[in-house]
Structure 1
Amino acid sequence: MEEERLKKGRVIFHIDMNCFYASVEMAFNPELKGKPLAIAGNPQERKGIVVTSSYEARAEGVKTTMPLWQARKLCPDLIVMRPNFERYRAASSQIFQMLAEVTPIVQPVSIDEGYMDVTNADWSGTPIGLAEKLQAKILKELGLPCSIGIAPNKFLAKMASDMKKPLGITILRKREVEKVLWPLPVAEMHGVGEKTAAKLKDVSVYTIGDLANKDAYALKQMLGINGVRLKDRANGIDQRPVDPEAVHEFKSIGSSQTLPHDTVDEREINKLLGILGDNVERRLKRKQAAGKSVQLMLRYHDRRTITRSRKLYEYVDGKEEIVQVAKELLDKHWDQEPIRLLGITLQDVEEKKKIAKQLDIFTYEQEAGKEKLYQAIDELKEKYGKDTFVENLPSSSEARLQPGTSLQKDFLDDFKVKKRE
């Protein structure tokens, strides 16, 4: 009966796949089930870290982001596999298709988690009964375990899904917040990162309950509007809708990579800038977008990090222009200290169809300074037709995943393209 009462308000599910990459590999090869498994990068390079691991490996102390050598020391029998991005993408696509069969109001937030608003979906029985059926279907048809949080809003659903793993189903009502959430350390609250948790502890906010009862003005002074937002969440207040269109929103597109070793070798640095430029250009093409500001990130051997950016006069979407600006920023701001990590981000990003609408014909003819952009537009129109900015979406072959750290964002790109088709 208590579950039935949830139907009087919003009923939000948060679906969280358990040890997703490892679970996909176990489903693909059942011989791996029950064994300590880690998905990790290249062990010969510094980026050879654990991406995720099975519960058997976690029981031995293996954790995400742990260096592989350390994980092997803790778990000598650890089976290590490199990521198979195509396999994970395919599995994720099947999962979200299943969610969409329940309700069209599905909001992916990464390759292995998303929200569903099932308030007005066509289902009978209780919310927990629906969750059990969905969980069982994903497990039976794909061999993949998931946890589901059920609540009247997104924040509580997310917190609930973390409470029982693997294969957990948890209902968290607003009236239970004080009893269930308030005793927890503030660092365990969704939306509170390491730096925010440290700031909160400086003002004697140690638990979620402390945050819920903290003066809103003091929080705003310290954390801005996010401080007030976090106080609301700590009190179980979250009015955000489950928004299928949120996957479309983006204002920047970037790529970063840690070097195999600290270096001052300009050839090695320039080579990596080219790789990063390729990654950014590829994602821009997938999104059919362009941007007007280039940001370079440098992390030195001592982990000191700087970012420098330049605003451009015109939209760009090509590797050459992006890398050229990045190199100019590097020449200007690099202090010749050994570099550990490089990143390039294109900011102020817009979809090309929106950019095209902004190009008034009179402005087009008058602004000779933007001739390069207009020439590119003319060439695209000549090659693909006048509506190239609107209609030429990436083909399935173009949308294939390139292995790298942007898998999560690439997945969301794919989700967007599929919705349009």
Structure 2
Amino acid sequence: MSNCVRTIAHYDLDAFYVNVECLKNPQLKGKPLLVGGKSDRAVVAACSYEARKFGIHSAMPMKLARRLCPQATIISGDMEHYSKYSRVVTDIIRENVPQFEKASVDEFYVDLTGMDKFFGCIKYSQELRHKITKETGLPISNGVSTNKLVSKVATDEAKPNGELQVPSGREKKFLAPLDVSKLPMVGEKTTALLRQMGVMTIQTLSEIPVEMMENLMGKNGIELWRRANGIDDTPVVPYHEQKSISTETTFESDTIDIRFMQAQLVKMTERIGFELRQQNKLTGCITVKIRYADFNTLTRQNTIAYTSADHILLKKVKELFTKLYDRRLLVRLIGVRFSHLVPGNYQIDLFEDTTEMIRLYQALDSLNYRYGRYLIMRASGLL
């Protein structure tokens, strides 16, 4: 099986947030549309292809986006709605393929290796794409190749609402003429560095001796060279929603002190919220657990819009605790669990938050990471 040529399909929902909004209001189709906060200090969470023609992109300050395209329609994001559609697409894929990886709320890898014996991988990947669009109304693009890297780039080239196959043996030739910025993991800084070296295309990058790339960037240089040559051995990691991050605290003595318990909940939520962001994950389900002095244990959970933002998580945790707690009984233990985890970062939630809010979260996490996880926390967690 190790010598078998793999067949990996990559699917990406086109302008996901924008197209969900267009399902809710079809009159928005074909217009410059921005999803995000409406204040000048907010950021663009997503934008339509019509808006991108004006130079607008995600994570751009909303003030600048409005200046570039004054006629754009701005809509506050509805992460709960987007999460619902993400789950619907996930269920369709789960029901139709043997193994898939959910790379983000709107992006999937499917391992179709060996299915040629039964169906024909290309035909099957096309049928799955049409099925998703038919059942959800959302446009989706996909690429098919021998590895995740090339299939992802193929999807990007097929957008919007298209499909592209890169056959075995043609991976390097397909990548060669593309701009170096189109390689996954090549950000603005790396692109700028490569262009200073005169490297504009992936072909030029692939022709640089690997030893030189290692001297320049260390291990990252080797990986960049491999990618430029169309080499990627990373597996499709099976998606399991039951994976979770959790913590619980058993008190030294049973208590009915609600302020004390709420302070513990704040501390616990911040702790695993930090872990969530360090792993670049979002949670779609929160569970709160209470064990009373008589060892009777109760839990309550709530499916939520995907997030990793403490201020949202804390609000939900407190709501669940209030619904669960019976004030007449002594409490022995409380716990918090985040499940339905998917890859993603905090910025995905920022429809009403400002660039300052993003920087605050990044700064706090950076300090906690460097000097100890719980160096900085909310005052309400210190009781």
TM range (shorter): 0.5 to 0.7
Aligned to 2:62: 68
Gaps of 5+ in 2: 249-263, 280-288, 314-337, 343-383
Match of 2:39 in 1: 44
| Offset from partner CA, 1:26-82 (integer Å, 9 cap, x none) | 1122232222221012x2251x22211122222344322233233333333321110
Cross-structure match for 1:240:
234
Give SS of 1:218's match.
Answer: helix
- State the one-letter code of the partner of 2:125: A
Distance between the aligned counterparts of 2:106 and 2:5, measured in 1?
Answer: 27
> 3-state DSSP class of the match of 2:60?
coil
Kept in 2, the 8 Å contact 1:15–1:149? The answer is: yes
TM-score (norm 1): 0.60
- 2:266 partner letter: K
**In structure 2, the residue corresponding to 1:183 is in which secondary structure?**
coil
Deviation at 1:87, TM superposition (A): 0.3
Cα deviation, residue 146, structure 1 = 0.7
Code of the residue aligned with 2:102 in structure 1: it is P
Aligned pair partner of 2:25 in 5, 29, 37:
29
> For residues 165 and 394 of structure 1, do their structure 2 counterparts lie closer, same or farther at Cα, with a shift above 3 Å needed?
farther
Shift of 1:169: 0.4
Q: How does 1:152-301 map to 2 (within 5 A)?
A: 152-244=146-238, 287-289=245-247
| RMSD between superposed Cα atoms in Å | 3.8
Q: Assess if the C-alpha contact under 8 Å between 2:8 and 2:113 holds in 1.
A: yes
Structure 1, residues 342-396: CA drift from partner, whole Å, max 9, x if none? xx9459989xxxxxxxxxxxxxxxxxxxxxxxxxxxx97656969x8xxx9872x
Q: Distance in 2 between matches of 1:155 and 1:248?
A: 27
Distance 2:29 2:294 in 1: 50
Question: 2:125 maps to which residue?
Answer: 131
Once residues 89 and 348 of structure 1 are traced to their aligned partners in structure 2, the CA distance between those partners, rounded to angstroms, is 18
Q: 1:173 to 1:81 in 2, by over 3 A?
A: same
Deviations 1:117-156 (A, max 9, x none): 0124598543332222122111111110011010011111
Cα shift at 1:110: 0.7
- Structure with the bigger RCO (C-alpha within 8 Å, sep 6+) is 2
Q: Which amino acid aligns with 1:44?
A: S
The yes-or-no answer on 1:13 pairing with 2:14 is no
Residue 48 of structure 2 aligns with which residue? 54
What secondary structure sits across from 1:34 in the alignment? coil
**In the TM superposition, what is the alpha-carbon distance from 1:103 to its structure 2 partner?**
1.6
1:308 corresponds to: none
Of 144, 152, 155, the match for 1:150: 144
* Counterpart code for 2:32: P
User: TM-score of the superposition, structure 2-length normalised?
Assistant: 0.65
Letter in 1 for 2:107: E
Return the offset for 1:17: 0.7
**Deviation readout 1:261-297 (Å, 9 max, x if unpaired):** xxxxxxxxxxxxxxxxxxxxxxxxx62158xxxxxxx
Offset of 1:404 from its aligned partner? 7.0
Quick one: distance in 2 between partners of 1:85 and 1:229?
A: 34
Q: Which secondary structure state, in structure 2, belongs to the residue aligned with residue 162 of structure 1?
A: helix
Is 1:96 aligned to residue 96 of structure 2?
no
CA distance in 1, matches of 2:51, 2:278: 41
For 1:114, the equivalent position in structure 2 comes to 108
Number of the residue aligned with 1:319: 266
Cα distance in 2 for residues equivalent to 1:402 and 1:240: 26
Instruction: Give, in whole Å, the separation in 2 of the partners of 1:87 and 1:147.
Output: 21
Please list the CA deviations of residues 83-139 of structure 1 after superposition, one character each: whole Å capped at 9, or x if unmatched.
Answer: 000000000001111111222411111111010101245985433322221221111
Task: Work out the number of aligned pairs and report it.
Answer: 291
Contact 1:131–1:169 (Cα < 8 Å) also in 2: no
CA change 1:321–1:109 in 2 (3 A) is closer
What is the distance in 1 between the residues matched to 2:203 and 2:240?
30
